[in-house]
Chains A and B, each alone.
Chain A
Amino acid sequence: MTMQAQDTSVRHEVVVQAPLERAFAVFTEDFGRIKPPEHNLLGVDIAETVFEPRAGGHIYDRGIDGSECRWARVLAYEPPHRVVFSWDISPQWQVEADPEKASEVEVRFTAETDERTRVELEHRNLDRHGGGWEAVRDGVGSEGGWPLYLGRYANLL
Protein backbone atom coordinates (compact mmCIF):
# COMPACT_ATOMS: atom_id res chain seq x y z
CA MET A 1 0.00 0.00 0.00
CA THR A 2 1.46 3.34 -0.94
CA MET A 3 0.48 6.36 1.02
CA GLN A 4 1.84 9.87 0.98
CA ALA A 5 2.92 11.33 4.31
CA GLN A 6 0.36 14.04 3.78
CA ASP A 7 -2.41 11.45 3.78
CA THR A 8 -1.44 10.13 7.18
CA SER A 9 -1.30 13.39 9.06
CA VAL A 10 -3.53 16.30 9.94
CA ARG A 11 -2.05 19.79 10.16
CA HIS A 12 -3.47 22.96 11.60
CA GLU A 13 -2.01 26.28 12.58
CA VAL A 14 -3.27 29.33 14.32
CA VAL A 15 -1.70 32.71 15.11
CA VAL A 16 -2.79 33.99 18.50
CA GLN A 17 -2.50 37.41 20.11
CA ALA A 18 -0.55 36.23 23.12
CA PRO A 19 3.10 36.11 24.15
CA LEU A 20 4.97 32.86 23.56
CA GLU A 21 5.10 31.76 27.20
CA ARG A 22 1.40 32.34 27.71
CA ALA A 23 0.54 30.56 24.45
CA PHE A 24 2.43 27.48 25.61
CA ALA A 25 1.09 27.62 29.16
CA VAL A 26 -2.55 27.92 28.15
CA PHE A 27 -2.31 25.07 25.67
CA THR A 28 -0.83 22.65 28.19
CA GLU A 29 -2.39 23.80 31.48
CA ASP A 30 -5.88 24.39 30.09
CA PHE A 31 -6.05 21.53 27.64
CA GLY A 32 -9.22 20.31 29.29
CA ARG A 33 -10.97 23.52 28.26
CA ILE A 34 -9.64 23.34 24.72
CA LYS A 35 -10.58 19.77 23.96
CA PRO A 36 -14.05 19.51 22.40
CA PRO A 37 -16.28 18.51 25.35
CA GLU A 38 -18.09 15.79 23.43
CA HIS A 39 -14.85 13.81 23.30
CA ASN A 40 -15.11 11.94 26.56
CA LEU A 41 -13.86 8.38 26.82
CA LEU A 42 -15.09 8.00 30.37
CA GLY A 43 -18.58 6.84 31.17
CA VAL A 44 -19.13 9.86 33.42
CA ASP A 45 -18.62 13.62 33.16
CA ILE A 46 -15.03 14.84 33.26
CA ALA A 47 -14.03 16.67 36.44
CA GLU A 48 -10.65 17.70 35.04
CA THR A 49 -8.11 16.98 32.33
CA VAL A 50 -4.56 16.75 33.61
CA PHE A 51 -1.56 17.44 31.35
CA GLU A 52 1.49 16.29 33.27
CA PRO A 53 4.24 18.78 32.38
CA ARG A 54 7.12 16.41 31.73
CA ALA A 55 8.31 13.86 29.17
CA GLY A 56 7.16 10.49 30.42
CA GLY A 57 4.01 11.98 31.94
CA HIS A 58 0.47 11.45 30.74
CA ILE A 59 -2.52 13.43 29.69
CA TYR A 60 -5.57 12.03 31.39
CA ASP A 61 -9.18 12.81 32.10
CA ARG A 62 -10.49 12.33 35.62
CA GLY A 63 -14.18 11.67 35.94
CA ILE A 64 -16.45 13.09 38.63
CA ASP A 65 -16.52 9.60 40.18
CA GLY A 66 -12.71 9.46 40.39
CA SER A 67 -12.21 7.17 37.40
CA GLU A 68 -9.33 8.03 35.08
CA CYS A 69 -8.67 7.71 31.41
CA ARG A 70 -5.04 8.01 30.34
CA TRP A 71 -5.26 8.68 26.65
CA ALA A 72 -1.86 10.21 25.87
CA ARG A 73 1.79 9.88 26.86
CA VAL A 74 3.88 13.05 26.90
CA LEU A 75 6.83 12.29 24.62
CA ALA A 76 8.53 15.69 24.64
CA TYR A 77 7.94 18.70 26.87
CA GLU A 78 10.07 21.70 25.92
CA PRO A 79 8.47 24.91 27.18
CA PRO A 80 7.76 27.31 25.66
CA HIS A 81 8.52 25.95 22.20
CA ARG A 82 7.35 22.43 21.67
CA VAL A 83 5.34 19.57 23.05
CA VAL A 84 4.80 16.10 21.60
CA PHE A 85 2.34 13.55 22.90
CA SER A 86 1.06 10.19 21.77
CA TRP A 87 -2.54 9.70 20.75
CA ASP A 88 -3.54 6.44 22.39
CA ILE A 89 -7.07 6.56 21.07
CA SER A 90 -8.33 4.15 18.45
CA PRO A 91 -10.48 5.21 15.49
CA GLN A 92 -13.43 3.95 17.57
CA TRP A 93 -12.55 6.45 20.34
CA GLN A 94 -11.44 3.77 22.75
CA VAL A 95 -8.14 3.86 24.61
CA GLU A 96 -5.52 2.02 22.56
CA ALA A 97 -3.33 -0.08 24.84
CA ASP A 98 -0.79 -0.98 22.15
CA PRO A 99 1.70 1.91 21.72
CA GLU A 100 2.55 0.52 18.28
CA LYS A 101 -0.95 1.47 17.20
CA ALA A 102 -0.78 5.02 18.51
CA SER A 103 -0.27 8.14 16.42
CA GLU A 104 1.37 11.29 17.76
CA VAL A 105 0.75 15.00 18.00
CA GLU A 106 3.44 17.65 17.84
CA VAL A 107 2.67 21.27 18.72
CA ARG A 108 5.23 23.98 18.00
CA PHE A 109 5.05 27.53 19.35
CA THR A 110 6.95 30.31 17.58
CA ALA A 111 7.03 33.97 18.65
CA GLU A 112 6.14 36.26 15.75
CA THR A 113 6.34 39.35 17.94
CA ASP A 114 6.40 39.88 21.70
CA GLU A 115 2.62 39.71 21.68
CA ARG A 116 1.90 37.27 18.88
CA THR A 117 2.59 33.55 18.63
CA ARG A 118 2.24 31.06 15.80
CA VAL A 119 1.03 27.65 16.90
CA GLU A 120 1.54 24.78 14.47
CA LEU A 121 -0.02 21.43 15.18
CA GLU A 122 0.66 18.19 13.38
CA HIS A 123 -1.14 14.96 14.19
CA ARG A 124 0.85 12.35 12.33
CA ASN A 125 1.37 8.63 11.71
CA LEU A 126 -2.36 8.05 11.52
CA ASP A 127 -1.68 4.88 9.55
CA ARG A 128 -0.42 3.28 12.77
CA HIS A 129 -4.01 2.97 13.88
CA GLY A 130 -4.42 0.42 11.10
CA GLY A 131 -5.91 -2.43 13.09
CA GLY A 132 -8.63 -0.22 14.45
CA TRP A 133 -10.45 0.26 11.22
CA GLU A 134 -9.92 -3.07 9.50
CA ALA A 135 -13.40 -4.12 10.48
CA VAL A 136 -14.83 -0.93 9.09
CA ARG A 137 -12.85 -1.22 5.88
CA ASP A 138 -13.64 -4.89 5.40
CA GLY A 139 -17.28 -4.26 6.03
CA VAL A 140 -17.93 -1.20 3.96
CA GLY A 141 -14.78 -0.29 2.10
CA SER A 142 -14.69 -2.98 -0.53
CA GLU A 143 -16.58 -2.49 -3.74
CA GLY A 144 -19.15 -4.98 -2.60
CA GLY A 145 -19.40 -3.28 0.74
CA TRP A 146 -20.74 0.10 -0.22
CA PRO A 147 -24.07 -1.09 -1.59
CA LEU A 148 -24.54 -2.92 1.71
CA TYR A 149 -23.69 0.26 3.59
CA LEU A 150 -26.23 2.18 1.55
CA GLY A 151 -28.77 -0.58 2.04
CA ARG A 152 -28.39 -0.29 5.78
CA TYR A 153 -28.85 3.43 5.48
CA ALA A 154 -31.99 3.02 3.41
CA ASN A 155 -33.41 0.84 6.17
CA LEU A 156 -33.00 3.69 8.62
CA LEU A 157 -35.05 6.11 6.56
Chain B
Amino acid sequence: MANGFADPWAALGDGTRRAIFERLAARPSAVGELAEGLPVSRPAVSQHLKVLKQAGLVVDEPVGSRRIYRVSTDGVGRLRADLDRFWSSALAAYQTLVEAPTKEVT
Protein backbone atom coordinates (compact mmCIF):
# COMPACT_ATOMS: atom_id res chain seq x y z
CA MET B 1 0.00 0.00 0.00
CA ALA B 2 1.51 3.31 -1.04
CA ASN B 3 0.90 5.27 2.08
CA GLY B 4 2.75 6.39 5.14
CA PHE B 5 1.12 4.27 7.78
CA ALA B 6 3.20 2.78 10.47
CA ASP B 7 3.59 -0.87 9.80
CA PRO B 8 2.42 -2.49 13.00
CA TRP B 9 2.94 -5.90 11.44
CA ALA B 10 6.62 -5.20 10.95
CA ALA B 11 6.88 -3.95 14.52
CA LEU B 12 5.25 -7.14 15.74
CA GLY B 13 7.48 -9.29 13.55
CA ASP B 14 9.94 -9.59 16.41
CA GLY B 15 9.10 -12.30 18.94
CA THR B 16 10.19 -10.29 21.97
CA ARG B 17 8.20 -7.28 20.87
CA ARG B 18 5.17 -9.49 20.33
CA ALA B 19 5.59 -10.86 23.84
CA ILE B 20 5.83 -7.34 25.24
CA PHE B 21 2.78 -6.26 23.29
CA GLU B 22 0.75 -9.24 24.49
CA ARG B 23 1.71 -8.51 28.10
CA LEU B 24 0.66 -4.89 27.71
CA ALA B 25 -2.62 -5.97 26.12
CA ALA B 26 -3.24 -8.02 29.25
CA ARG B 27 -2.07 -5.35 31.69
CA PRO B 28 -0.51 -1.87 31.45
CA SER B 29 3.01 -2.03 32.90
CA ALA B 30 6.22 -0.13 33.57
CA VAL B 31 9.50 -1.08 31.87
CA GLY B 32 10.84 -2.77 34.99
CA GLU B 33 7.81 -5.04 35.35
CA LEU B 34 8.09 -6.09 31.72
CA ALA B 35 11.80 -6.81 32.01
CA GLU B 36 11.29 -8.98 35.09
CA GLY B 37 9.13 -11.43 33.17
CA LEU B 38 11.24 -11.59 30.03
CA PRO B 39 14.70 -12.95 29.24
CA VAL B 40 15.93 -9.57 28.02
CA SER B 41 17.56 -6.58 29.67
CA ARG B 42 15.70 -3.51 30.74
CA PRO B 43 17.40 -1.31 28.09
CA ALA B 44 16.39 -3.87 25.45
CA VAL B 45 12.79 -3.71 26.65
CA SER B 46 12.94 0.09 26.42
CA GLN B 47 14.20 -0.17 22.87
CA HIS B 48 11.39 -2.55 21.90
CA LEU B 49 8.84 -0.25 23.52
CA LYS B 50 10.19 2.62 21.45
CA VAL B 51 9.58 0.66 18.25
CA LEU B 52 6.06 -0.32 19.35
CA LYS B 53 5.37 3.29 20.23
CA GLN B 54 6.55 4.52 16.83
CA ALA B 55 4.23 2.04 15.17
CA GLY B 56 1.36 3.52 17.17
CA LEU B 57 0.76 0.24 18.95
CA VAL B 58 1.48 1.36 22.50
CA VAL B 59 1.29 4.62 24.37
CA ASP B 60 2.92 5.68 27.62
CA GLU B 61 2.09 8.10 30.39
CA PRO B 62 3.81 9.10 33.61
CA VAL B 63 2.15 7.73 36.74
CA GLY B 64 3.93 9.05 39.81
CA SER B 65 7.61 8.45 39.29
CA ARG B 66 7.03 5.67 36.77
CA ARG B 67 6.12 5.58 33.10
CA ILE B 68 3.31 3.18 32.38
CA TYR B 69 2.94 1.64 28.93
CA ARG B 70 -0.32 0.34 27.57
CA VAL B 71 -1.76 -0.79 24.27
CA SER B 72 -3.03 2.13 22.25
CA THR B 73 -6.78 2.08 21.87
CA ASP B 74 -7.26 5.30 20.00
CA GLY B 75 -6.60 6.34 16.48
CA VAL B 76 -5.07 9.68 17.46
CA GLY B 77 -1.98 7.95 18.76
CA ARG B 78 -1.60 5.99 15.55
CA LEU B 79 -2.12 9.07 13.42
CA ARG B 80 0.32 11.06 15.54
CA ALA B 81 3.00 8.41 15.16
CA ASP B 82 2.41 8.41 11.44
CA LEU B 83 2.58 12.18 11.05
CA ASP B 84 5.49 12.41 13.44
CA ARG B 85 7.49 10.26 11.05
CA PHE B 86 6.22 12.23 8.06
CA TRP B 87 7.35 15.59 9.44
CA SER B 88 10.57 14.27 10.87
CA SER B 89 11.50 12.99 7.43
CA ALA B 90 10.25 16.15 5.69
CA LEU B 91 12.22 18.50 7.93
CA ALA B 92 15.38 16.45 7.53
CA ALA B 93 15.00 16.74 3.75
CA TYR B 94 14.23 20.43 4.13
CA GLN B 95 17.37 21.06 6.16
CA THR B 96 19.53 19.34 3.57
CA LEU B 97 17.93 21.35 0.79
CA VAL B 98 17.98 24.74 2.46
CA GLU B 99 21.59 24.39 3.59
CA ALA B 100 22.83 23.23 0.18
CA PRO B 101 25.05 25.72 -1.63
CA THR B 102 22.87 28.14 -3.55
CA LYS B 103 23.06 27.80 -7.31
CA GLU B 104 24.47 30.82 -9.13
CA VAL B 105 21.83 33.08 -10.52
CA THR B 106 22.05 33.09 -14.29
Is B3 a contact of A18 with CB atoms below 8 Å? no
What 0/1 pattern do residues 15 to 44 of B give for CB contact below 8 A with A? 000100110010000000000000000000
Is A14 a contact of B91 with CB atoms below 8 Å? yes
What 0/1 pattern do residues 69 to 83 of B give for CB contact below 8 A with A? 001111111111011
Report the Cα distance A136→B5, complex, angstroms: 13
Interface centre among B9, B76, B78 (most CB of A within 10 A): B76
Is A27 a contact of B73 with CB atoms below 8 Å? no
B contact patch SS: helix
Q: How far is the CB of B52 from chain A (nearest CB, A)?
A: 13
B residues touching A (Cβ–Cβ < 8 Å)?
2-5, 9, 12, 18, 21-22, 25, 71-80, 82-84, 86-91, 93-95, 97-99, 102
- Of the candidates A119, A129, A146, the one whose C-beta lies within 8 Å of that of B94 is A119
- Of the candidates A38, A132, A156, the one whose C-beta lies within 8 Å of that of B75 is A132
Kindly list chain B residues whose C-beta atoms are within 8 Å of the C-beta of A54. none
Report the Cα distance A91→B79, complex, angstroms: 6
Report the Cα distance A121→B71, complex, angstroms: 28
A108 within 8 A of B: no
A38-B3, A39-B86, A136-B75 given; name 14 further pairs at CB < 8 Å: A3-B76, A7-B77, A10-B83, A14-B91, A17-B99, A18-B98, A18-B99, A22-B98, A26-B94, A33-B93, A39-B4, A91-B79, A121-B91, A150-B22
